[in-house]
Structure 1
């Protein structure tokens, strides 16, 4: 059967399946036939003890087959489903995620027929499946599945001309397509988590050992061991439940958002936002930081946001509108981040644009909703935490190899006991089978997983006390193997304070000028104005490198976007417009006014120069730095 491709990074392929009737399952009728053969052939021909031993082997095999359907997705698909080629004959599918993005899953396949629009006749058919809070649709033309599309790759002209949803019918259609703007995932119960813990191979093996000991009349030791097993597993399930409950608190704030619908501004809940909505967003009138309920494209106005929840970067980011972009340019989420307000980030300050036609009555910035729910940047982070890793248990590769090594000798010993026991016709076959089984099970000491569970529980409690939550407790031993950590964020282990060392000009013949008084006035004007510094609550915030440059040349920057020298003789530099730093261009620029004359200053960041965290910063004023390479190679 050909595997269906999926147009998405998170899924590698999809296999079509059809669920078998319970009587046709491969873990039912073959064993039913074996039980019938045992009843018809073994019971009349053998004595009671031998027949009971055979029944025990059959029952253990049946239970093992049932457990394998929980341990292996491929085995569950083989036992309970049949592969099909026709998508209309399928009612389930096995989803194979991309490498390192979790384990396989079997999910229902939905075939939904909807009434076509007035422009077309008949019915339309939608075939889709939901996988980890994402919906994938089937394309009959391309014969593959594609992820539900959001309006994130249109022209800027499309967004600028957007007027939201004009009718209730369009709103209902969009709601059916994209759903509500919420992080909705099932809250597991203690019983469900306990069932998962009890279905693990190690736990099943320990319970099997306890059963064998009971048959060998070790009642007290067996029951005490069983009690301890359930006690440790219930503790583990309780800790996991606490962690998942903490994660469930991460949700879209149920705030009231002013939205432009049906030709007027209306107040709706943030959970009712839809991709394509036009909304008013800004800091709350009370002065509290307001979180962004969805990913939005800023159409009018500017905002300063804190994106630490997504990037870990403590420096506030300045977001500007798309007013200066060409209408025929295509939006790129990665390239045009300075125009996008990401869900979950906090708005520290906003400035509305009063020159646009569609103005918000509450004085907020006008934005176009791009993505909602689990497709937002915050939602993707939640999906990564919840789904993108396979569950880890007490099993490990090292312990498995060690057990296989011991099992080799246990099989030899058990075979020898069985051979000698069969030579004695007076020996009980029941006791012989029990002795051989105990020899095999003695390879794995029941205390091994129990001790590991105790160690993991202790570590888990210590982490929770420090505010660190772990959804997969048995990954803690893996973390203990780490001996090298690499951090890419300044401020994690190092300080982000910068010190001004000097400036190299085009006329200085590669000489570092440390005295700011000796710098040309134009260089001082460029350094003091070509930056992205802003005032938040009367405090200057932004890139430490840019703040150090202004401080080093002894200039000041005010909240009205004006730079002035502390020394007499300099003229104030008024910023008229900023073109913020573009990562794909590696530069930013500003238009400034000095004594009623306008200038354009450009700044380019070329490279990070070394462990001392100096940066090669080039500021131009209308000239090409022909000898820049020789300069930066000398000092960096």
Structure 2
């Protein structure tokens, strides 16, 4: 067994229990068959309810590397039994998957020394290194032979093939890696991939390389099983409560207690039918929502393109995004062109967002290597399930993206589906108290049985009466009609909610709604209106705030107006201006016009794909020349808003001007930290506080001029941080977000019911 000290366990923060390896043990299996026959099959029914018992009664513990079955116990004290599978692949796994030997993965199922069990560790790794060799198409990694022999998670077979050992758990795949002496989650390119690799190394796969990787990653699809009514019926009827009901009805039949038994049978049949219908309906709905397969264009290693089904995509594939858009079938990092994306399926926000290419910082000796990260680069990532509305590119080059994660990894869409299929258990005190109450009833029933037996023996009752009366006490203490009645009540409540436009994916939780003590609300769009209104602009003069101006269109065309007209991510979709409501209000207040080139001009225009200009046909004399030119400003480069950076910025160029300009918009605290201190008013904090205390939302604006020597091509290579430095403070934007008319009475009603309300934003 490997020395686990080399795995640096102190880097993990364990928040789970164990994963234990098992393999079939023949003597236990024989004993299991014997007792199954003796119990007339009842033992197998118990094992159906308790798979862990079945595993322990038929298998024996073994080292994890030799296991054919694993027992998983998570941090919620849930137990799962999964079969370990083995698949033949044509190349070593190290030539397909990223090298994880220098990192701590987010989740590892690794072997323990003291027991043949494992910790499921979940942690954020310590400082991580980037991969210097990402999925080489030659099938060779650049690590030395000794290290390759150690980390190879596959065993070569006599026929030259290799073994890929893995198990599937909650729609995720975990593969065996001897370095960690455990199973690691299958990964794509979502971690530790150098940004430069997306441009320099990932050029697409040949058909053969793609097929080899499919042996590991499988098909790019999420399979939602829709069980037949017969299978659903069998699973439902084998529920312990229903078995107890059947037992009770048989007992009442022997006692000639037909009428009550008939009522219970009727309720039982109705509740089962309703439950089967709802379960089937929800499964079909989820399958139809998740299922998506389309034809995509992939770039091959040779430079040619080919149309294939999206089911065959693997991480590292390069795809071309159609100009008219598409539905993304997996997560992909954008490397050329821009995309306008509707992410409402994942975020619930209907406002389209702009996606820009991944940064490609130049390699500098001694500087840390920049790596891809899904969270940090989400503005450059097209997520599975989202709708690409349209694309834009510079020149004739196609809009390209590199596949990061497919559904087996899984993608963002896959994670959403997993959260629906396998929700985290919620430890309600109400449920715990209910179980304690049922346990108390069982204790009382046992006491009643003991008392009845003693009493009946004392009066010399026959054995039949003794058995019937004892069993009757059980059916009285634990009412057989309770599950059926709960099902009928839950379905009725669900239908009432549905009529009010409220849908519930977990009906069993409706029962605890009456126990709610705290309700959390989102702010924008829930408590307040969706949009913001521009209340006013607070400009500067000689580093002093001027009174707020209610109509920004009345301002002269200085830097603050240009900042409002250009510093946004608006786009035109179907002839209408679309984008963030805040940006829309800000731009509309300037009374300017935004123009985007059409398909024909887009292919020829390599300077500024988007232009803004005043509504009136204004002209000016550029550089003192006598020739009049229209006053137009082109948006040369755009940095979308980042919540982590608390700002967005653009690089612009006025028609025929010699220099470019940078405009930045963001939180006042962040913008002032980027500005020259001598441009910030002395009463900045006082003025800012006066607006925020009134409930206004306040943004700050700043700008700077770039050196005339900075060319269009050069500005696209300058890091964002260098462009957003040494800014000049321009002023404040003051916006208001009005409450919805229903907000105040609803909050008051909740307070009257002693329910605490919290705003989460």
> Could you tell me how far 1:70 is from its partner in structure 2?
3.2
Q: 2:62 aligns with which of 78, 84, 88?
A: 84
Q: Kindly indicate whether residue 71 of structure 2 is the aligned counterpart of residue 71 of structure 1.
A: no
Gaps of 5+ in 2: 93-138, 146-154, 364-368, 598-609, 621-630, 670-687, 705-724, 738-761
Is the deviation greater in 529-538 or in 588-597?
A: 588-597
RMSD: 3.9
Q: Distance in 2 between matches of 1:7 and 1:134?
A: 21
Look up the match of 1:272. 312
Look up the match of 1:189. 228
> Could you tell me how far 1:307 is from its partner in structure 2?
0.4
Secondary structure of 1:331's counterpart equals: strand
Q: Kindly indicate whether residue 580 of structure 2 is the aligned counterpart of residue 543 of structure 1.
A: yes
Q: Kindly indicate whether residue 611 of structure 2 is the aligned counterpart of residue 562 of structure 1.
A: yes
> Could you tell me how far 1:274 is from its partner in structure 2?
1.7
Q: Distance in 2 between matches of 1:593 and 1:542?
A: 22
Secondary structure of 2:510's counterpart equals: helix
Q: Kindly indicate whether residue 348 of structure 2 is the aligned counterpart of residue 312 of structure 1.
A: yes
Look up the match of 2:696. 614
Q: Kindly indicate whether residue 64 of structure 2 is the aligned counterpart of residue 24 of structure 1.
A: no
Contact 1:109 1:127 in 2 (8 A): yes
Look up the match of 1:492. 526
Look up the match of 1:52. none
- Relative to the length of structure 1, the TM-score reads 0.82
Contact 1:300 1:323 in 2 (8 A): no
Look up the match of 1:530. 567
Q: Distance in 1 between matches of 2:315 and 2:729?
A: 49
Distance 1:313-1:208 versus aligned 2 partners, 3 A rule: same
> Could you tell me how far 1:103 is from its partner in structure 2?
3.9
Look up the match of 2:330. 294
Q: Distance in 2 between matches of 1:305 and 1:127?
A: 38
Contact 2:19 2:72 in 1 (8 A): yes
Q: Distance in 1 between matches of 2:33 and 2:571?
A: 70
Q: Distance in 1 between matches of 2:433 and 2:71?
A: 30
Q: Kindly indicate whether residue 339 of structure 2 is the aligned counterpart of residue 303 of structure 1.
A: yes
Q: Distance in 2 between matches of 1:70 and 1:291?
A: 41
Q: 1:574 aligns with which of 617, 634, 640?
A: 634
Q: Distance in 2 between matches of 1:353 and 1:626?
A: 31
Contact 2:299 2:306 in 1 (8 A): yes
Distance 1:139-1:550 versus aligned 2 partners, 3 A rule: same
Q: 1:248 aligns with which of 262, 281, 287?
A: 287
> Could you tell me how far 1:82 is from its partner in structure 2?
2.6
Q: Distance in 2 between matches of 1:163 and 1:324?
A: 13
Q: Distance in 1 between matches of 2:210 and 2:227?
A: 32
> Could you tell me how far 1:619 is from its partner in structure 2?
1.1
- Deviations, residues 12-66 of structure 1 (Å, cap 9, x unaligned): 642112234486377655687xx6xxxxxxxxxxxxxxxxxxxxxx88xx83x54
Q: Distance in 2 between matches of 1:210 and 1:91?
A: 42
> Could you tell me how far 1:434 is from its partner in structure 2?
1.7
Q: Kindly indicate whether residue 436 of structure 2 is the aligned counterpart of residue 401 of structure 1.
A: yes
Distance 1:224-1:423 versus aligned 2 partners, 3 A rule: same
Aligned pairs, number: 591
Q: Distance in 2 between matches of 1:619 and 1:180?
A: 48
Look up the match of 2:382. 341
Q: Kindly indicate whether residue 271 of structure 2 is the aligned counterpart of residue 232 of structure 1.
A: yes
Q: 1:386 aligns with which of 421, 427, 434?
A: 421
Q: Kindly indicate whether residue 177 of structure 2 is the aligned counterpart of residue 95 of structure 1.
A: no
Look up the match of 1:14. 19
Distance 1:612-1:572 versus aligned 2 partners, 3 A rule: farther
Contact 1:202 1:449 in 2 (8 A): yes
Look up the match of 1:592. 652
- Deviations, residues 462-493 of structure 1 (Å, cap 9, x unaligned): 45667766554322223454454323262234
Gaps of 5+ in 1: 36-57
Contact 2:317 2:402 in 1 (8 A): yes
Contact 2:29 2:57 in 1 (8 A): no
Look up the match of 1:44. none
- Deviations, residues 363-385 of structure 1 (Å, cap 9, x unaligned): xx111111112411111111111
Contact 1:240 1:470 in 2 (8 A): no
> Could you tell me how far 1:269 is from its partner in structure 2?
1.3
Q: 1:421 aligns with which of 456, 459, 462?
A: 456
Look up the match of 2:370. 329
Q: 1:145 aligns with which of 183, 189, 200?
A: 183
Contact 1:302 1:321 in 2 (8 A): yes
Secondary structure of 2:373's counterpart equals: coil
Secondary structure of 1:293's counterpart equals: coil
Q: Distance in 1 between matches of 2:273 and 2:211?
A: 45
Secondary structure of 2:520's counterpart equals: coil
Q: Kindly indicate whether residue 458 of structure 2 is the aligned counterpart of residue 458 of structure 1.
A: no
Q: Kindly indicate whether residue 502 of structure 2 is the aligned counterpart of residue 476 of structure 1.
A: no
Distance 1:572-1:352 versus aligned 2 partners, 3 A rule: closer
Q: Distance in 1 between matches of 2:256 and 2:25?
A: 42
Contact 2:195 2:360 in 1 (8 A): no
Distance 1:367-1:531 versus aligned 2 partners, 3 A rule: same
Contact 1:139 1:146 in 2 (8 A): yes
Q: Distance in 2 between matches of 1:13 and 1:406?
A: 33
Q: Distance in 1 between matches of 2:464 and 2:278?
A: 42
Contact 2:326 2:387 in 1 (8 A): yes
Q: Distance in 2 between matches of 1:122 and 1:85?
A: 20
Is the deviation greater in 299-308 or in 224-233?
A: 224-233
Q: Distance in 1 between matches of 2:668 and 2:355?
A: 23
Q: Distance in 1 between matches of 2:201 and 2:500?
A: 47
